Structure 1
Amino acid sequence: MADEGDVLTDLNNSAGNGADNQPVAGLISQYVKDLSVENPNAPESFQWQEQPELDVQFNIGGKKINEEITEVELKISVTAKSQSGTAYLVELSYCGLVGMRNMADEQIHAFTYAEAPRILFPFARRVIADAVRDAGFQPLLLDPIDFQGLYLQQLQARQQEGGAPAAGHA
């Protein structure tokens, strides 16, 4: 039996009015929207001795599908170059459909550009690692990214410029 103050007791005695008015957000689905893998100098690139330099670029986009669903797009571009040339290029567009309801605009913006990318990143990271491995190289394990920290930095920079973030822009 549930004791006083127990979660089950609290659920049974909640003072809710039955209305769907609590803020809620969550991932509905995720998918690879676009993936490009290039190995332009194979098979010569497999003989190169020098360690390639990596250029990793990220971009986050949000597109409203309807009032409650937003597509969050995490774009990752990786280029591995050495003095001998380009070893490989990988471009990934990894997306998630995010449902959000009863949330303030600031919360929607923060979830779209900080929390949703944090949730999607480990899956995108695996796709990149597999793509690099399938191109014939050692799998590339991207370092974790502090999306919340980056979001707060950009928000602070925009506030110092005198503008607030517009919904739909990071």
Structure 2
Amino acid sequence: MADTNANGAPEQDATAAQMKMNVLAQFIRDMSFENILAQKGTGGEMTPDVQVQVNLDARKRSPDHQFEVVMKLKIDAKSKGTTSQLFLMELEYGGVFHIENVPEEQMHPFLLIECPRMLFPFVRRIVSDVTRDGGFPPLNLETIDFVSLYRNEIARRQAEQQTKRADA
């Protein structure tokens, strides 16, 4: 019979390692904001159509258990109904994470799902502040579904591999 705790739940083996993650640093690697509307000298009422592209990158750092994750955003705002560009923002925001006791087969999704979730509130704030300071209403990014983003990228890579095999 398995040992149980006071709540009747099975006790965890004391040697079972707990997953551990710490954010060691966060930083803006690169950022640009172009107010194209102001550069053209036009104004007036415009309804923006905002397109957001998100790319993620992760790599192992030389100290043990350290990883760097970078979220790359490209935000393109055009006036609805026209091709008139209002602004363009590009942001690369990174984090350095200390991660222990995550199984090797789970490390890739962990780095590209859980780590960006930790960074996202800071990215949202930067985008809001920069668009506001750039002369537009603050852009409050909607929450990004990093699980879906990860699954879509894996499916895209698998389709690409199959296409390469079929062409060979």
TM-score tier, shorter chain, comes to: 0.7 to 0.9
Counterpart among 56, 63, 87 of residue 60 in structure 1: 56
Q: Please, which runs of 5 or more residues in structure 2 have no aligned partner? A: 163-168
SS in 2 for 1:139: coil
Q: Quick one: structure 1 residues 99 and 49, their matched pair in 2 at CA, closer, same or farther if it must change by over 3 Å?
A: same
Deviation of the 1:106 alpha carbon: 2.1
Q: Quick one: structure 1 residues 57 and 157, their matched pair in 2 at CA, closer, same or farther if it must change by over 3 Å?
A: closer
Deviation of the 1:21 alpha carbon: 4.9
- What does 1:36-55 correspond to in 2, within 5 Å? 36-42=32-38, 44-45=41-42, 47-55=43-51
CA distance in 2, matches of 1:101, 1:33: 25
Deviation of the 1:157 alpha carbon: 5.6
Counterpart residue type for residue 135 of structure 1: G
- What does 1:8-157 correspond to in 2, within 5 Å? 16=14, 21-42=17-38, 44-45=41-42, 47-66=43-62, 67-82=64-79, 83=82, 85-155=84-154
Q: TM-score, normalised by structure 2?
A: 0.75
Q: Quick one: structure 1 residues 84 and 27, their matched pair in 2 at CA, closer, same or farther if it must change by over 3 Å?
A: same
Deviation of the 1:16 alpha carbon: 4.1
Q: Quick one: structure 1 residues 15 and 109, their matched pair in 2 at CA, closer, same or farther if it must change by over 3 Å?
A: closer
Q: Quick one: structure 1 residues 48 and 58, their matched pair in 2 at CA, closer, same or farther if it must change by over 3 Å?
A: same
Q: Please, which runs of 5 or more residues in structure 1 have no aligned partner? A: 7-13, 164-170
Give me the CA root mean square deviation.
Answer: 2.7
Deviation of the 1:50 alpha carbon: 2.7
Q: TM-score, normalised by structure 1?
A: 0.75
Deviation of the 1:161 alpha carbon: 7.1
Q: Quick one: structure 1 residues 160 and 76, their matched pair in 2 at CA, closer, same or farther if it must change by over 3 Å?
A: closer
Percent of matched pairs sharing the same residue: 35
CA distance in 2, matches of 1:156, 1:79: 25
SS in 2 for 1:41: helix
How many corresponding residue pairs?
A: 151
Counterpart residue type for residue 108 of structure 2: H
CA distance in 2, matches of 1:115, 1:132: 26
Deviation of the 1:87 alpha carbon: 1.3
Contact 1:54 1:80 in 2 (8 A): yes
Contact 1:100 1:108 in 2 (8 A): no
Deviations along 1:57-96, one digit per CA (max 9) or x if unpaired, are 1000012112311110001111111237221111111111
SS in 2 for 1:30: strand
